[in-house]
Amino acid sequence: MKKIRKPDLAVIGAGPAGLAAALAARKAGLKDILLIDRDFELGGILQQCIHDGFGSMVFKEVLTGPQYAQRFIDEIAGTDIEIMLSTMVLDLRADRLITAVNSRDGMVEIQPKSLVLAMGCRERSRHQIMIPGFRPAGVITAGAAQRDINIDGIMPGRKLVILGSGDIGLIMARRFTLEGAQVEGVYELMDHPGGLTRNVVQCLNDFDIPLHLSHTVSFIHGRRRVSGVTVAAVDESLKTIPSTERFVPCDTLCLSVGLIPENELSKHAGVQLDPVTAGPFVDERMETSVEGVFACGNVVNVFDLVDYVTKSAQSAGLGAAEYVMTGRKREGGIRVEPGRNVKYVVPQFISDPSRDVDFYFRVEHPEKAVTARVIAGAEEVTKKKHRMVRPPEMLQSTASGERLTASGEPSKITVEVIGSDEQA
Amino acid sequence: MDMHDGNELPATAAVVIIGAGISGCSIAREVVKHTPDVVILEKETDVADATTKANNAEVHSGIGEKYGTLKQKLNVRGNLLYDSFVEGLGIPLKRQGLMIVITPRTLPENYTRWLPKRTVAWLLRKVVPRLILRNGRKKGIPGLRALTAEEIFTMEPHVTKNAVAGVFDPTYGLVSPYKLTIALAENCVLNGARVFLSTEVTGIKVQNGKVTGVVTDRGEIAAPIVVNAAGVFADEIAEMAGAGGFKIHPRKGASLLFDRDITADYVRSSVAEFRMFRKGSSKGGGAMPTAEGNLQLGPTAIETDDKHDTSISAEEIQEIFDRFYYLLPDFPRSAMISAFSGIRAPTEDEDFIIGASEAVAGFVNVAGIQSPGLAAAPAIAEMVIGILQGLGVPREERADYDPVRPAPPKFSELSNEERDRLIERDPRYGHVICRCEQITEGEVVDAIHSVIPARTMDAVKRRTRVGMGRCQGGFCGYRAAEILAREWGIPVTEVTKDGDGSWVFAGETKSFEVAEDSAVPGGDES
């Protein structure tokens, strides 16, 4: 083993979150920064997202995934940020000791003064949603299919059923169709689509691909390759209704059934995870429960827009720089509570309420004509009206530190979504 | 892709073994100690590719088998032989033990409802453990001891607080059934035996009441001794020889597998709830760690009439959940990463059928090998070699027999220093392609060029664990296929999951004919 390298900051993962965090820390004046990724190029999952729709907030223009990533990659190229590609982090300890491996250097140990976790998320697989049936070739997750087609230039199937209407599933329905494959339909367990409305319109409606809400796949057929699936409607408790079962011939079942923040390393380091988001508890600087360890992007919770990933990463990068350069220590922490029709809020804690904070939150169920509010103590800090809110679409509110502390330091902060007429 | 690697079948062999499962390969290894002239024929694309691969890895002690049956005797004997059986193969055997848990459900209500509560409690706490101990000792199982409820909770904190007593059987072990079978087959080949995969036996040649050879879909082999270890198809093979008269009725067993990171040490031993007077021919399954450390629940026991039915139904999954919610009330349901199902090969009378055919000289049946077939394997091999020696296999051991099968390196189990040395020798060991199980490109290449080469995605997976982790191949799928294609010199579109018909990729992008109406999907099926 080589000598332990001790940079000011190490960032694990060079997707949109890692790139932005490293850059933000560099701009804040941090010197020795190391960016580690397991892939052979920077950009993470954005490189396979060749559709557009990225960047409307951060760049005020609409970019493809690779274009969005390239803006950051170009900027990084102009800095002295060190990049370690094709490198897999194998282990992480609470004292920030990273054990990693690559073909060039062999085993490497890195113990940075600060650390940003930016590993993103992974897809849920077939058995996590317990689809019965055989185990043939041809059951694939939508993100893996996207990589096959857009990076490796290979088609995982000809005739598909897609289960799950998350954004990747919707985008892949269109992508498969454009490649000449047949998409029989998209089936969604819930009574509302899992992805953004714009993706339902642009990826399904525009291509006449049917979306079957309140449906699921109840059996996978085929011993060697998928020969078809049984689909069925589900009742209110999401159980299949046997009388509605029908066989759909296909050679591929493509799953878009949710993403899980990739926190195996975080757990090794003893980072406390929020059971609701499956990501670390963080404060407004995206610092986790372990001192000097920050987290951002989809490792914290699965964001819907890359722009939010970037913003959360900028907070984390700044936080890490500040931690190293000023020795800022976190004190106390005000709990941020999800109020009415709010499933969760990130950050979950506020360490310093005198700063401006971006709150990201999701509703529990769809609702029309609502107001989203941030309340500090008894004071309303922000309020924003929405015509319609849906669980897949993340809500965001920026609260100024001035307002948060208008009546002194609040004992708790609540984020709630209320009917516009219920408003106090 | 050519699954035969261009090898021709030999014209003759001293012994032909049909079936490269745990039984066939264990027997082959005994035979090869005495003669190198052994041929193993397997119709699947890999060894251990049928019933063996779905076995739940337990080396039973024999406590659950009916006293006096052949499988009970061979199980107890097999368990005893296991440590020496795996020696030299590079396959870990773990003796985790079995905890038999007695709960209020142990005695069915219709037996106990007329008894005073205190009597039932006494029966459960005092009498039932003694019955289990006596029953086990009669079968010759060493080391059994009774457990109090407190001991149970100390040893296995997740077991239901309803547990009243128990018995610990320290001889229960765990071994990877497919890795063991692969290692056995490789050791055979290194000692001169030959294994032919994707080779289906279509007939048995018999002359004047003596077996003279086998007919396959690739040609014939003349042989004076043929061993039928064909698993669920053993009855059909025996019929071909005219040495049948038994029927295999397939019985499905489904198991659930959980994320290792979440369930490591969830149970330390195998844990089973003891239920008396229950119908059925299964031991009832249990919760157990796998050889790799995942929690596993199952198996079920469901009769089927299809020898290929390895599906798992919603009802089976629910049945397993229901059963284990009681035994392990807090088990991490959401950490399930896989469900799989295999076909057991029982005969009508549920016992093993092992012996030289009386009708056809030289033909030996090894049939009806269901659980505890893995545990009994060393004893089955020991019994069969005795039979074969009676038929002409030399009794003396070869001087040049080498019991060692060199195991390829496992990156995830090495120290950092060992890893560094390995990467220095071959940088491909520094390229991790499976993030969940930390498997490197070097290990995949090793599997592809191993003694029994991996030709399919599943074969690579069984040898390396690529794709067996929590993401179930989402990250590594294409990477593994790409390496297979490169090493075999085939286009990636020819890579299969498990042989013919199990194609993985439909073609390259832009290779599909785009129909005029492609924007109207559903096509002829909608």
3-state SS of B245-305 is CCCECCEEEEEEEECHHHHCCCCCCEEEECCCCCCCCCCCCEEEECCCCCEEEECCCEECC
Report yes or no: B146 and B134 within 8 Å, Cβ to Cβ.
no
Alpha-carbon span B306 to B392, nearest angstrom: 37
Q: Give the residue carrying structure tokens 């502390």.
A: A405
The token pair at A59 is 């760049």
Q: Give the residue carrying structure tokens 């069915």.
A: B108
Q: A287: distance to nearest CA of chain B, Å?
A: 24
- Residue A130 at interface with chain B, using a CB cutoff of 8 Å: yes
**pLDDT at B114 > cutoff 70:** yes
Q: What pLDDT score was predicted for residue A408?
A: 87
Confidence of residue B526 (pLDDT cuts 50, 70, 90): very low
- Pairing assessment for the beta strands A367-376 and A357-362 based on DSSP bridges: unpaired
Confidence of residue B516 (pLDDT cuts 50, 70, 90): low
Contact B497 A125 (CB under 8 A): no
Confidence of residue B2 (pLDDT cuts 50, 70, 90): low
Report yes or no: B252 and B281 within 8 Å, Cβ to Cβ.
no
Is A18 in a helix, a strand, or coil?
A: helix
Q: What is the mean pLDDT of residues B482-492?
A: 96
Q: What pLDDT score was predicted for residue A331?
A: 74
DSSP letter at B50 equals: S
Catalytic residue among B4, B60, B249, B308: B60
Contact A177 B518 (CB under 8 A): yes
Q: Give the residue carrying structure tokens 């264990």.
A: B26
Alpha-carbon span B129 to B140, nearest angstrom: 17
**pLDDT at A51 > cutoff 60:** yes
Q: pLDDT tens digit string along A345-357?
A: 999 999 999 999 9
Mutate to test the interface with A, among B502, B510, B516 (most CBs of A within 10 A): B502
Q: Could you tell me the maximum CA-CA distance found in chain A, to the nearest angstrom? A: 67
What is the residue-wise DSSP string for A305-349?
A: -HHHHHHHHHHHHHHHHHHHHH-------EEEEE-TT--EEESSE
Q: Give the residue carrying structure tokens 């995949």.
A: B444
Is B257 in a helix, a strand, or coil?
A: strand
Report the half-sphere exposure of A314 (CA within 13 A, side-chain side).
11
**What average pLDDT does the structure give for chain A?**
94
The token pair at B402 is 């080498």
The token pair at B238 is 């025996």
Contact B420 A107 (CB under 8 A): yes
Is B381 in a helix, a strand, or coil?
A: helix
Contacts of A276 in chain B (CB under 8 A): none
Mutate to test the interface with B, among A38, A92, A123, A154 (most CBs of B within 10 A): A154
Q: pLDDT tens digit string along A55-81?
A: 999 999 999 999 999 999 999 999 999
Task: Compute CA distances A101 → A37, B422, B434, B439, whole Å.
Answer: 11, 12, 13, 12
Report yes or no: B298 and B254 within 8 Å, Cβ to Cβ.
yes
**What average pLDDT does the structure give for chain B?**
91
- Pairing assessment for the beta strands B251-258 and B432-434 based on DSSP bridges: unpaired
The token pair at A157 is 């199937």
Task: Compute CA distances A146 → A46, A196, B333, B457, B476, whole Å.
Answer: 11, 18, 29, 20, 14
Q: Give the residue carrying structure tokens 């085939």.
A: B490
Is B26 in a helix, a strand, or coil?
A: helix
Contacts of B313 in chain A (CB under 8 A): 132, 219
Alpha-carbon span B369 to B344, nearest angstrom: 8
Cα three-residue angle A137-A141-A143, rounded to 5 degrees:
135
CB-CB: which of B419, B504, B526 is closest to A101? B419
Percent of all residues in chain A with a pLDDT value above 70, rounded to a whole number: 99
CB-CB: which of A141, A184, A251 is closest to B522? A184
Phi, psi of A368 (to 5 degrees): -100, 155
- Amino acid of residue B322: D
Contact A267 B510 (CB under 8 A): no
Residues 186-245 of A with CB under 8 A from B: 207-210, 218-220, 223-225, 240
Q: What pLDDT score was predicted for residue B142?
A: 96
CB-CB: which of B311, B438, B499 is closest to A133? B311
- Of all residues in chain A, the one with the smallest CA distance to B501 is A224
Report yes or no: A175 and A207 within 8 Å, Cβ to Cβ.
no
Q: Is B60 a catalytic residue?
A: yes
Q: Could you tell me the maximum CA-CA distance found in chain B, to the nearest angstrom? A: 79
- Residue A59 at interface with chain B, using a CB cutoff of 8 Å: no
Decide: residue A246, CB within 10 A, 0-12 exposed, 13-18 middle, 19+ buried. exposed
Tally the residues of chain B: 526
Q: What pLDDT score was predicted for residue B272?
A: 94
Confidence of residue B1 (pLDDT cuts 50, 70, 90): low
Q: pLDDT tens digit string along B325-353?
A: 899 998 888 888 888 888 999 998 899 99
Contact B512 A210 (CB under 8 A): no
- Of all residues in chain B, the one with the smallest CA distance to A219 is B313
Alpha-carbon span A77 to B44, nearest angstrom: 52
The token pair at A317 is 């990068």
The token pair at A118 is 């930016």
Contacts of B260 in chain A (CB under 8 A): none
Residues 281-320 of A with CB under 8 A from B: none
Q: What is the mean pLDDT of residues A266-292?
A: 96
For A109-142, b where at least 16 C-beta lie within 10 A, e where not — what string? bbebbbbbbbbbbbbbbbbbbebbbbbbbbbbbb
Report yes or no: A261 and A301 within 8 Å, Cβ to Cβ.
yes
The token pair at B86 is 């795996």
Q: pLDDT tens digit string along B414-459?
A: 999 999 999 999 999 999 998 888 999 999 999 999 999 999 999 9
Percent of all residues in chain B with a pLDDT value above 70, rounded to a whole number: 95
Decide: residue B398, CB within 10 A, 0-12 exposed, 13-18 middle, 19+ buried. middle
Contact A181 B512 (CB under 8 A): yes
Q: A356: distance to nearest CA of chain B, Å?
A: 37
**pLDDT at A12 > cutoff 50:** yes
Q: pLDDT tens digit string along A317-373?
A: 999 999 999 987 777 789 999 999 999 999 999 999 999 999 999 999 999 999 999
Identify the bridge partners of residue A139 per DSSP, sorted by sequence position: A253
Q: Which residues, 6+ apart, have CB-to-CB distance to A239 below 8 Å?
A: none
- Amino acid of residue B363: F
**H or E segment at A64?**
strand A63-64
Contact A154 B478 (CB under 8 A): yes
**pLDDT at B359 > cutoff 80:** yes
Alpha-carbon span A266 to A299, nearest angstrom: 9
The beta strand positions in A234-311, using DSSP E, are 246-249, 252-255, 259-261, 293-295
Q: What pLDDT score was predicted for residue B476?
A: 76
Q: Give the residue carrying structure tokens 């004076």.
A: B224
**pLDDT at B517 > cutoff 70:** no
Contacts of B317 in chain A (CB under 8 A): 130, 132
- Of all residues in chain B, the one with the smallest CA distance to A179 is B510
CB-CB: which of A127, A144, A155 is closest to B509? A155
The token pair at A72 is 């950051």
Contact B471 A125 (CB under 8 A): yes
Contact B506 A104 (CB under 8 A): no
Q: Is the ipTM of this complex over 0.90?
A: yes
Alpha-carbon span A295 to B278, nearest angstrom: 53
Q: pLDDT tens digit string along B78-103?
A: 999 999 999 999 999 999 999 999 99
Confidence of residue B518 (pLDDT cuts 50, 70, 90): very low
Confidence of residue A211 (pLDDT cuts 50, 70, 90): very high
Decide: residue B185, CB within 10 A, 0-12 exposed, 13-18 middle, 19+ buried. buried
Q: Give the residue carrying structure tokens 């990826």.
A: A203
Q: Which of A386, A373, A381 is nearest to A415 (CA)?
A: A373
Q: pLDDT tens digit string along A359-411?
A: 999 999 999 999 999 999 888 999 999 999 998 889 999 999 999 998 888 98
Cα three-residue angle B423-B427-B431, rounded to 5 degrees:
95
Phi, psi of A73 (to 5 degrees): -60, -40
Decide: residue B278, CB within 10 A, 0-12 exposed, 13-18 middle, 19+ buried. exposed
- Of all residues in chain B, the one with the smallest CA distance to A221 is B311
Q: pLDDT tens digit string along B121-160?
A: 999 999 999 999 999 999 999 999 999 999 999 999 999 9
**pLDDT at A424 > cutoff 80:** no
Alpha-carbon span B26 to B384, nearest angstrom: 10
Q: A109: distance to nearest CA of chain B, Å?
A: 10
Q: When comparing pLDDT for B356 and A420, which is higher?
A: B356
Contact B521 A209 (CB under 8 A): yes
- Residue A157 at interface with chain B, using a CB cutoff of 8 Å: yes
Q: What pLDDT score was predicted for residue A420?
A: 75
Integer-rounded Cα Rg, in Å, for chain B is 24
For B68-89, b where at least 16 C-beta lie within 10 A, e where not — what string? eebbbbbbbbbbbbbeebbeeb
Mutate to test the interface with B, among A110, A150, A224 (most CBs of B within 10 A): A224
- Amino acid of residue A213: L
Q: pLDDT tens digit string along A104-156?
A: 999 999 999 999 999 999 999 887 788 999 999 999 999 999 999 999 999 99
Q: What is the mean pLDDT of residues B276-290?
A: 74
Contact B336 A130 (CB under 8 A): yes
Q: What pLDDT score was predicted for residue B473?
A: 75
Mutate to test the interface with B, among A86, A107, A139 (most CBs of B within 10 A): A107
Q: B411: distance to nearest CA of chain A, Å?
A: 11
Contacts of B312 in chain A (CB under 8 A): 132-133
Alpha-carbon span B228 to B380, nearest angstrom: 13
Q: Give the residue carrying structure tokens 């309420």.
A: A353
Contacts of B432 in chain A (CB under 8 A): 38, 88, 90, 101
- Of all residues in chain B, the one with the smallest CA distance to A209 is B521
Cα three-residue angle B156-B160-B163, rounded to 5 degrees:
90
Phi, psi of A394 (to 5 degrees): -75, 145
The token pair at A200 is 């339902």
What's the distance, Cα to Cα, between the start and end of chain B in Å? 34
